[in-house]
Amino acid sequence: MEESELRMELGRLFHGIELGASLGGSSGGRLVVRASYKGMDVIAKLHPQTNTAGQEVKALKAAKGLLGGVGLRVPMLIGTADRGILLEFIEGRTPNLAGDDHHLRLCVEYLAGMARIGIPRNMTSHYHGAGLRQRLEHERVVFETAASRFHELSDLRADFEDIVVAAAAAVDSDPEGVMAHGDFQPQNLLVTASGELVPVDWSDFGRAHRGYEIANLLLRLNPERMRSAFLWYGNALDRVVPAECLAEGLAIARVIRAGGVLRQLLSGTGCNENSIAIARRILLRKQHQK
């Protein structure tokens, strides 16, 4: 569907809305636009289906209720209609994890804040328990398919299997897990002018292995920066996510991150000539030892 048609759909769902610049892609029936609605600056999101919109609304309400009371910022939900969602517009910039220590600390402290909160019994398990086991098996299939098609990956079969075994063993080591954003990466984070961190896109909010989300964040850093982050993180927050949980989370994150890159490579979406090199770098990244 063309972006013009998606914009018309948003206009139909929210009468009187003034749509501005697009902030997200228009593929698959999804569109994210800055807009003005009833005198407010908002973000208007059009989901491909009503049920995916409902999932995000439910996740946002849960996150707001659980995290707002402990000072962790979650975007305010302004309105909903079928496939459409309106959120408060938040002015901010993407955190510079590679070069700004303050930005990195903001991210780690936000994740630690979530880890300290008790988990409701009915919280979904995107990266924990049975859901995580299923995800690891799916990534195993993705890797095997890619390795059979691209000879540059065939020599990594043993390395990948070792990481999957370590990740699978981690599933049973953390029976409770912690609350997690689900897609806590720089593209989904904003740092406001006042220095507040605000994660956006809460569709995958749920339960995760205690070490997964912080490990997934640190895995995006170069090895030297990652070592520095481990030292600070270990000294400051070890009681929230112990070092052994962090090591387990790193194994899980490596499998999921590599699988994501290879899935795009196989489907041709977001694929580029560096995809294989990126996957190799993730899988060959040596686990940091203190």
106-164 pLDDT per residue, tens: 998 898 889 888 888 778 777 888 889 999 999 999 999 999 999 989 999 999 999 99
pTM across the whole model: 0.88
Does 17 reside within a domain? yes
Same-domain status, 162 and 67: no
Same-domain status, 147 and 52: no
Same-domain status, 81 and 155: no
What mean pLDDT, rounded, does the chain reach?
88
Distance separating alpha carbons of residues 150 and 155, to the nearest angstrom: 10
What is the SS3 assignment for 57? Answer: helix
Same-domain status, 77 and 123: no
Same-domain status, 23 and 161: no
Same-domain status, 27 and 139: no
Domains held by the chain: number: 2
Query: Do residues 11 and 46 lie in contact, with contact meaning Cβ atoms separated by under 8 Å?
Result: no
What is the SS3 assignment for 7? Answer: helix
Per-residue pLDDT at 289: 42
Amino acid at 115: A
Same-domain status, 134 and 187: yes
- Residue 78 neighbours by CB under 8 Å, 6+ apart: 37, 40, 42, 86, 87, 88
Provide the domain limits for residue 35. 3-88
Same-domain status, 198 and 272: yes
Residues 165-200: pLDDT tens digits?
999 999 888 888 889 999 999 999 999 999 999 999
Closest residue by Cα to residue 217 from 73, 108, 100? 108
Same-domain status, 144 and 270: yes
Distance separating alpha carbons of residues 166 and 169, to the nearest angstrom: 5
- Sign (positive or negative) of CA dihedral 124, 126, 129, 134: positive
Of the listed ranges 148-152, 162-166, 243-247, 262-266, the least confidently predicted one is 243-247
Amino acid at 264: Q
Q: End of a domain among 66, 88, 110? A: 88
Same-domain status, 120 and 34: no
Same-domain status, 109 and 83: no
- Sign (positive or negative) of CA dihedral 112, 114, 116, 122: negative
Read off φ and ψ for residue 184, nearest 5 degrees: -80, 85
Q: What are the structure tokens assigned to 206, written together?
A: 């749920």
CA distances from 149 to 146, 160, 161, 225, 278 (A): 5, 16, 18, 33, 17
Does 96 reside within a domain? no
| Domain of residue 16, CATH code | 3.30.200.20
The one-character DSSP state at 246 is H
Q: What are the structure tokens assigned to 139, written together?
A: 């990534």
Same-domain status, 70 and 140: no
Query: Do residues 103 and 191 lie in contact, with contact meaning Cβ atoms separated by under 8 Å?
Result: yes
Kindly tell me if the per-residue pLDDT of 224 is higher than 90.
Answer: no
